[in-house]
Structure 1
Amino acid sequence: MKKMLLIFVAALTSAAHAQSEIPKSALDIAPLLIGEKIPEFTLKTAENADVNLSALLKKKKTVLVFYRGGWCPYCNLHLQALAEAEKQIIDSGYQIIAVSPDSPENLKITEEKDKVKYTLLSDSKGELIKAVGIAYQVPENYKSVINVHSKGINTSLLPVPSVFVVNTEGDILFEYISPDIKQRISTELLVSVLKNLK
């Protein structure tokens, strides 16, 4: 009996350890699910000010976007498309918040380049990305890019591009997660989802 108990405890310990490791591939992530809550974290604004994500979410239902960084051409196209659809999204009762591992300084560059008026936030340490379960290990050829754009804070992880629709309590109502960096939810589909969510 003791031997069985020891095996069970050992199995639990190794399972917990395995879950705390960052997946090697975008295909191996274990994201939060619909009905779960976005965890509370303090992130940085483009002005390098601390902001509590939960406090922002409480203001209005939110389209919460995770993108790889302003250096990623597919992310820039997605951010621009969101900017173009922002009025429709606001009219549906939502705000847009986009989070990346970029440093606050690099958020400013992205705001200007992509003509973004909605909120961009920095998660340079990758704490929120890990907590949401969408972090994976940076492929070797991206490490220097990530290092530069996070001002040396992050050299090891990227988020899988994701969109979460959350209520003011931070509960996930809808999610779109694509390990294929070229595939993003279309703004037409997103706006349709928002209009149909209760």
Structure 2
Amino acid sequence: MNASDEEITALLHTGVSNNAVVQELHVDKHRVAALRRTLGLPAHQPQPLTLEQKWATKTRKVDGGHLHWTGTLGSSAGTPVLAYRGTVVTAASIAFRIRTGRTPVGYVLPECDYHHCVAPDHVEDEPGRQKAREQLRYLTGGTARPDRCVHGHDQAAHGKFEEDGTSYCGRCKAEKRAAARARETAGV
């Protein structure tokens, strides 16, 4: 082997790709591929980043312990999203999984004042938000929410809390929104 073949062989044995050898040593790609075959080395298998590692590459720390999303924004609301292995997930849901180790339930939203913050300690899923809001209700002198709303919906299943701890019926709210959309569609 001449010196160039030795250099190529040394790099191939480190586990890099053929393209990496070509770029580093400025040699012909066919020559590198032939040497890989002669040496009996398998084709390079890239080590893809985990979802969490890829998420981390798209964040930037800002004052207050917040994380700013530098990656893709989806929808008209500008929700931070990440494409990974053929699916798109929200950056906040990944942050939630990093903190809790579980898949979130419902929307994951920041509970701080930084718009679209994706810091794991700043995001919460629907049950977590509702629990915190219920606790706030009691801390501010509120009483337990009623068992049923004025329309008879079971509040154990449909009851929710606003940010200030005020209770409301999630089903009633959803029905009102659906009726409003229907009126808009009908042109009323």
Whether TM-score is above 0.5 comes out as no
Q: Decide which structure has greater helix share.
A: 2
Q: What TM-score do the two structures reach when normalised by structure 1?
A: 0.23
Task: Report the TM-score when normalising by structure 2.
Answer: 0.24
Structure with larger RCO (C-alpha < 8 A, sep 6+) = 1
Which structure has the larger Rg over C-alpha atoms? Answer: 2
Q: Which has the higher strand share?
A: 1
